[in-house]
Amino acid sequence: SAVISQKPSRDICQRGTSLTIQCQVDSQVTMMFWYRQQPGQSLTLIATANQGSEATYESGFVIDKFPISRPNLTFSTLTVSNMSPEDSSIYLCSVGWRRGGLNDEQFFGPGTRLTVL
């Protein structure tokens, strides 16, 4: 398993501003992901953070809105740009190891609760 921390844990932001969320893992991981969980909804994958290269975005998510960095194997950031109230969600970092095992697991951070006014 892994100990995953996210900063900030919550924030209230004004429309039109940007917020950068940090994800730190206590050990090197192969895979890092960013999810969004809207109020009362399921988890939706935003993108896979790739070390040293551009993130891989899922359908409906674009780099200009959600720029992602991953400078090393233990750290990643997600920026929510030009925020609107529709961006109010919990943003979750998830990590995993691709060891090649059939049961490779993903572990989730505690999340960042974002409210946009």
> 3-class DSSP state for residue 85?
helix
DSSP label of 14: -
Cis bond leading into 8, ω under 30°? yes
- Residues in contact with another protein by the rule CB under 8 A: 4, 31, 41-45, 48, 56, 92, 94, 96, 98, 102-111, 113
Q: Which is nearer to another protein, 37 or 81 (CB)?
A: 37
Q: Which is nearer to another protein, 77 or 109 (CB)?
A: 109
Type of residue numbered 84: S
Q: CB 84 → another protein: shortest distance, Å?
A: 24
- Which residue in 1, 2, 17 sits closest to 116, CA to CA? 17
Q: CB 82 → another protein: shortest distance, Å?
A: 26
